Amino acid sequence: MNPAEQDPKSTRTRKRKPMVAPTAEDLAKKHKEISVAEFFERNKHILGFDSLNRALLTCVKEGVDNALDVCEEVYTLPDIKASLTKEQNDTFHIVIEDNGPGIIKKQIPQVFGKLLYGSRFHEIRQTRGQQGIGISAAVLYGQLTTGKPARITSKTVSGEAAYMLEIVIDTHRNAPRVVSSNIIVWRDENGELKPSGTRVEVTLKGRYIRGKQSIFEYLRSTAIVNPHAMITLIEPDGTKTIFKRGTEHLPGHAVAIKPHPAGIEIGILMKMLRLTKSPTLQKFLMNEFSRVSKRLAAQILSLSQLKGEIAPRKVKRQGAERIINAISQVSIMEPPTNCLSPIGESLVKKGLRKEITAEFVTSAIRRPLAYSGNPFQVEVGLCYGTGSSDDTANILRFANRVPLLFQQGGCVTTKAVESINWRPYGLEQRGGKGIPRGPVVILIHVASTNIPFTSEAKEAIADIDLIKDEIIRALRICARKMNVHIKRKAKRKVHLAKLNLIEKILPEINQKTSNNLGFPLPDISRVVGEIMDSYMFKSTVSYSDLKKSYEVKIRVSNYTETRKKFKLMAEIAEGALVRNVHPDPLNIEDELIIWEVAGIPSGEGMELSFELVGVPKGDYEECVLYQKGLNERYVFGAEVPPEGGEAENIAVVKT
């Protein structure tokens, strides 16, 4: 290029200024701090606002999750309402209302108008929210796409009136700005004064859809793993859906604990050593970690060759490394379980039955473990007989009772399902890997004090080997039970065909033959025994709303040629009061009613019954039967009782 350029309006030659490289001092002038609100304002996709469909869902999700958390913290059965109104084009007005304790006035701007502000980040316990970003991010997105402030109405139990504030976020300072503030009388839809609660209103750009990744599906899934909650959805077209409460029992309250030493990272340990108030290293180990006793602390110090009397802040990196190595060599109790709030096997099944029609439902829960010092627990539920056998299995993924609807392929739960060979368990699977095909719904719930999400959007759980292994073990427990059900179903079909022959066709043939030939009616019990050659056990369970009790009836039929003595056992609900047992049992122990049956004549049967009191409706819908003394090859409807072994190795038939 020529060093000079000709000015078209002049004959003079103009020289270009020489390029001067900026100095470090010049570059330093450009450096400035940005707030977290400004960062997410430009990177809203990280929080789940990457499309109009997801934006609407994410806003509802964050509001409902917060409402569930706060209701459970004050031991209140959640009653949550989500309403969506379409204003114009792709603009929607969202309202989330709860019956929680409310928020005091001075905290309202901080909670909804400041990112990374919350009460749960520094506590080690299971909660839905972890970072203090969700609901304030929804306010930020609404402000960014419509320019309208969020409106927050809240009333505490102690307050006579409610506060209504309109809030926007000053993204430059990551601070709230109150546009307006009013005191109102808050009444519910019936015109009665609202005792307490919070109402969040956000106007934002979005798109409402129905289908697999929709608000409706999110709330339906939430109702499955939160059967104690009642959730009402009012869609933009006015359709109202109520997801009813399935139980009046709140989940166990998660208590904050200290970090567990298993898997602690060196950077975290060095930070704890620097900030602790414990005067000595031994006191530090005992006071700052859970499950570390005085004896165990002394053992760790001995292996790390450190003195227990030194000040923790004097321990350098090499000393911290020796402590971590010592921790890996000692035997430490598993983390306390009171920091977690698992759903429980019974409620997993109840939640699935409440929302999904299936012929067989089972569940499994693993014991608590810890990764990187964070306790976690895996629960799995499985429904069989939910649709077509050609359909791909439906996987319902949850983390701390929150549905995960996106990024299924990148989630450890999906990878665990795909890693199992499902064909031996009775499901189709091309090539022996991938998601199986069959009329199956698989529920996977990971509860933890710190869910390792793959991103701030909290849509997938990271592929951590320990978590994956626990999911696989729980899946195999449920798969074995399902396989037993499938095989028993095929066997039941054969027995029912024989039973139809016994109860209908043979007696008619016997009667007509006797009438035609003029002979007395012969005894056909021996013929019946030769055809059926089995003992059949069948139980029916019914709930009496009047008596508030379960009535269980058991029928045992002997379709063999012999009469044998055996023991019959019926499983009862934990903590249930048993009454009106007929005939009198041999014993009632270990949640089993045990009868000793002297023998049933060939071709005859016997009836047994009992009543259960103190069990909530829906908590005892199946009766598990065991028998001891009969050859299991000739028994249908009851199993040999388990003796020893782990519970996960037991497969029982639920009649």
- Indicate which CATH number applies to the domain containing 284: 1.10.8.50
Both 84 and 228 in one domain: the answer is yes
Which residues does residue 534 pair with via DSSP β-bridges, in sequence order? 559
Q: Which positions ≥6 away from 137 have C-beta within 8 Å?
A: 40, 44, 47, 49, 58, 62, 115
Highest mean pLDDT among 97-101, 504-508, 573-577: 97-101
Listed range (150-164, 407-421, 487-501, 511-525) with the worst mean pLDDT:
487-501
Asked whether residue 75 is domain-assigned, the answer is yes
For the residues 160-175, what does the mean pLDDT come to? Answer: 88
How many domains are there within the chain? 4
How confident is the model over 524-556, as pLDDT tens digits? 666 666 666 788 888 899 999 888 899 999 999
Both 86 and 133 in one domain: the answer is yes
| Helix orientation angle between 525-532 and 465-500, rounded to the nearest 10 degrees | 150
| Res. 489 pLDDT band, cuts 50 70 90 | confident
Residue 18: the pLDDT is 76
Both 47 and 192 in one domain: the answer is yes
Greatest pairwise CA separation for the chain in angstroms: 138
Of 438, 460, 485, the domain-final residue: 485
Asked whether residue 6 is domain-assigned, the answer is no
pLDDT at residue 383 is higher than 60: yes
Higher-pLDDT residue of 550 and 37 is: 550
Asked whether residue 258 is domain-assigned, the answer is no
Residue 120: the pLDDT is 59
Of 466, 485, 504, the domain-final residue: 485
Residue 321: the pLDDT is 92
Listed range (221-235, 240-254, 279-293) with the worst mean pLDDT:
240-254
Both 431 and 557 in one domain: the answer is no
Domain that holds residue 457: 344-485
| Res. 12 pLDDT band, cuts 50 70 90 | low
Q: What are phi and psi of 223, to 5 degrees?
A: -65, -30
Asked whether residue 7 is domain-assigned, the answer is no
- DSSP code per residue over 99-114: -S----GGGHHHHHHS
Asked whether residue 466 is domain-assigned, the answer is yes
Asked whether residue 96 is domain-assigned, the answer is yes
Residue 345: the pLDDT is 84
Residue 578: the pLDDT is 93
Both 350 and 324 in one domain: the answer is no
CATH number, domain containing residue 553? 2.60.40.1170
Both 301 and 353 in one domain: the answer is no
- Describe the strand order of the beta sheet including 534-544 as a list of residue ranges: 577-582, 605-613, 549-559, 534-544, 635-636
Both 476 and 531 in one domain: the answer is no
CATH number, domain containing residue 105? 3.30.565.10
Asked whether residue 18 is domain-assigned, the answer is no
Listed range (48-57, 73-82, 201-210, 494-503) with the worst mean pLDDT:
494-503
Both 475 and 355 in one domain: the answer is yes
pLDDT at residue 99 is higher than 90: yes
CATH number, domain containing residue 394? 3.30.230.10
436 Cα distance to chain centroid: 21
Residue 37: the pLDDT is 67
Both 430 and 565 in one domain: the answer is no
As a whole number, the mean pLDDT across the chain is 84
Asked whether residue 22 is domain-assigned, the answer is no
How many other β-carbons are positioned within 10 Å of the β-carbon of residue 33?
A: 5
CA-based torsion, 136, 139, 143, 148: positive or negative: negative
Both 122 and 149 in one domain: the answer is yes
Both 129 and 166 in one domain: the answer is yes
Residue 524: the pLDDT is 66
CB 566 within 8 A of CB 630: yes
Both 273 and 316 in one domain: the answer is yes
- Relative to beta strand 230-234, strand 79-88 is parallel
Of 485, 515, 550, the domain-final residue: 485
